[in-house]
Structure 1
Amino acid sequence: MTANSLPAAGDPRRLLSDMRTLSQRVRADQRMTWVALLVLAAATFAAIPFDWFGMDVTCLPDGGCQFARDGMLYYWIPAMPLMYAAIAFLYLRAARARGLGGRVLPYAITGAVTTLVFPAAWLAVTTYFSNHPYPDQPLPYWWFVLDRLVMPWGMIGVTLLVLAWLERNVALLAFTVGYLALVLLVLPMNYGFSSGFFSIRAAMAVPQLIVGVVLLLAAFGFRAAGRRRR
């Protein structure tokens, strides 16, 4: 009895390995992570002048100040759907140019949901504190974390988690976890500057500038990593 050996191309384990390699290569070719990060960074930078000049600041003789960030609210409500629509369009365009498919619908849906959640949460918090004075005791820390999560920079982190899942991108997941830790736990969003007309605006602008720089640097990093793979 003689046994005929299978050629390498007919080895099931070899075929399975080749299919996995091809699948990973297709996923890598589909990734446009740097484009999404670049669009998010540009939108964040563009929000700063709207927040600065659209902020209503009233300072009293005793040094206390009150402010309302209407400019940021009016900017982000239309900016969010345009931002995620631009990302989805660029993803699909790049995928079609390469003859590949693209799973951007869940990402676009997540962006649309955050567009609704952000103004709803903003108005709810504003309405509550308009009718209820701030408590004398310090607010619990979880309240500040939740408040930052529903802000635009927190919503950006949520959508980046969805993008990491769509792309099966471990590097993006690691970046997003670090980004959310920075935004929710580290970065000061409403303190760190003395009270006053200019200082309050700076206290709101500087954290947004930091977020934009972080997103921009990440875009450059993912772009450079993608070129090295090719």
Structure 2
Amino acid sequence: MTTDSVRGDDPRRLLSDVQSLAHRVRLDQRLTWVALLVLGVVTLVGIPFDWFGIKLDCAPDGSCIFARRGVLYYWPPALLLAYGAIAVAYVRTTRARGVGARVLPYAITGAATTVVFTAAWIAAAVYFPDHPIEFSQWVLLIDRLIAPWGTIGVALLVLARLERNVALLVFTLAYLVLVVLVLPMNDGLSSGGIRAGFAIPQLIAAVALLLGAAGFALARRRQR
């Protein structure tokens, strides 16, 4: 009777052990705070490039024409290097822990969104200076989504899926709402100056990413 009881419990115990091991492997594969830290630093460092890289031509009546050349010079190489650094960090860390890294689709998504952003902004820079510019709200929404700070959030959705990380998914959705809906990048054009109107939302986005990195790093330490 005792032997039969133990044998009957073995499959449940084995299943529990497998589930526990799988959960532990997923935790060991996560390096969320590193990704957010790298992206937060890249966003923060990009502010001076955008500030000093804006080509500004103001008329005596106060109207201004501007072009954000600094964004195009800085962000494409910066994002590609950032995603490469994140991928390398994931691979090295997970190998040291004896598990595999599921980061390649995230890095590919990041590179792809960077290409889309670059192509869209180059097309806008070539086309719109010679045409009157009046955009509807949905066009502005798409513009914010394919801006560098928006594409960061899109790629993070992929990372959340790969890591099966609900906390990262919630953070990313909140971040996208912040940068796409709450902090449109042109609100300061009339009140705080053109440069401040672009820099302040980027600063807030960078702080959000850095705070997220700190939060995930703290959570990771508590799990150990």
TM tier, smaller: over 0.9
Which residue of structure 2 aligns with residue 227 of structure 1? 221
User: Which of 154, 158, 163 in structure 2 is aligned with 1:158?
Assistant: 154
Alpha-carbon displacement from aligned partner over 1:43-98 (angstroms, at most 9, x marks no partner):
00110111111111111001101111101111011111101000000111111111
Are positions 1:54 and 2:53 aligned together?
Answer: yes
Distance of 1:10 and 1:35 partners within structure 2: 41
What fraction of aligned residue pairs are identical, expressed as a percent?
61
Q: Within 2, Cα distance between the matches of 1:115 and 1:55?
A: 20
Instruction: Name 1:185's counterpart in structure 2.
Output: 181
User: How is 1:4-19 mapped onto 2 (pairs within 5 angstroms)?
Assistant: 4-7=3-6, 11-19=10-18
- Tell me by how many angstroms 1:3 deviates: 7.8
> Relative to 1, partners in 2 of residues 1:64 and 1:76: Cα closer, same or farther, differing over 3 Å?
same
Q: Per-residue deviation at 1:109?
A: 0.8
Structure 1 residues 110 and 4, CA, compared in 2 at 3 Å: closer, same or farther? same
| 2:217 match: secondary structure | helix
8 A Cα contact 2:117 2:146, kept in partner: yes
Q: 2:73 is matched with which residue?
A: 74
- Structure 1 residue runs without a partner (length 5+): none
1:208 is matched with 202
Q: CA deviation at 1:124?
A: 2.3
Supply the AA of the counterpart residue of 1:214: A
Deviations 1:197-230 (A, max 9, x none): x811111111110000000000000000011111
Distance 1:158 1:9, change over 3 A: farther
Give the drift of 1:148. Answer: 0.2
Matched to 2:80, the amino acid is P
Give the aligned residue type for 2:212: A
- Hey, what's the Cα distance between the residues in 1 that align with 2:131 and 2:63? 18
Alignment of 1:1-230 (within 5 A): 4-7=3-6, 11-135=10-134, 139-194=135-190, 199-230=193-224
The TM-score with structure 1 as length reference comes to: 0.92
Q: Is the Cα–Cα contact under 8 Å of residues 9 and 15 in structure 1 kept in the other structure?
A: no
Structure 2: segments with no counterpart, 5+ residues: none
Q: Secondary structure at the match of 2:4?
A: coil
Contact 1:154/1:183 (8 A) holds in 2: yes
Relative to the length of structure 2, the TM-score reads: 0.94
**Secondary structure at 1:56's aligned position in 2?**
strand
